[in-house]
Amino acid sequence: MRHMMVAAIAVALASAPGAQAPAAVQEKTAAPPASPVGSQTARIGTMSELMVHLIYPTSDAVFYISSRTPTTDAEWVELQAKTLTLAESANLLMMPGRARDQDRWMKDARLMLDAGWAAFKAAKAKDVPALEALSDQMYEACTTCHQHYRPGYGRRPQPPVAR
């Protein structure tokens, strides 16, 4: 009990206005220096890796919400993480060096960002009807981009010519 009281007093004193942590603690917890102006991000994964490892599995959480509806708090937290990842993945698609162009690509990625952001908000609110309604919006975002940037998307392969 005494140790808890001492700890509580220490926390109260440390959080008092004007209180400062010891210099050794300040050095270890100091924020890193600001990035220089004009620093650039780095692409780590390929477009295929982003699609297979981030975008497909997280978009499936929206597409299949009716049959995979969360029932526990842990499942809702997992869905929130997936929808947040989905929305943020759109930002990855718009990164310099990854964006294919600054016009159509950016518009298509923005469709995904808008749908993902709305899905994240709906997941936070545990709003299944909203998530179900967003499935079409997400599908439209995906197919629009694929039609523009995946050659042959949506077309059946031609049967071999008989000789």
Residue-number span of the structural domain to which 142 is assigned: 47-149
How many independent structural domains does the chain possess?
A: 1
pLDDT at 30: 47
- Give the integer Cα–Cα distance in Å for 159 and 144: 26
Mean pLDDT for 115-133 is: 97
The most confident of 3-7, 86-90, 142-146, by mean pLDDT: 86-90
CA angle 30, 36, 41 (to 5 degrees): 100
The answer to whether the beta carbons of residues 62 and 86 sit under 8 Å apart is yes
Nearest to 56 by CA among 86, 81, 90, 31: 86
Residue 141 inside a domain? The answer is yes
The model's pTM: 0.70
- The backbone region for 152, taken as left when phi is positive above 0, alpha when psi lies in -120 to 50, beta otherwise, is left
* pLDDT band at residue 40 under the 50/70/90 scheme: low
Residue 158 inside a domain? The answer is no
Residue 10 inside a domain? The answer is no
Residue 12 inside a domain? The answer is no
Residue 19 inside a domain? The answer is no
Mean pLDDT for 54-75 is: 96
Helices (H), 15-103: 23-29, 47-50, 56-63, 73-93
Residue 118 inside a domain? The answer is yes
Residue 112 inside a domain? The answer is yes
Share of the chain above pLDDT 70, in %: 75
Q: The CATH number of the domain where 91 resides is what?
A: 1.20.120
Residue 98 inside a domain? The answer is yes
Nearest to 154 by CA among 139, 134, 132: 139
Q: What is the pLDDT of residues 8-26, one digit of tens each?
A: 333 333 334 444 444 444 4
Task: Write down the mean pLDDT value for the chain.
Answer: 80
The answer to whether the beta carbons of residues 137 and 115 sit under 8 Å apart is yes
- Give the integer Cα–Cα distance in Å for 31 and 108: 36
Mean pLDDT for 33-61 is: 80
33 has pLDDT over 60 = no
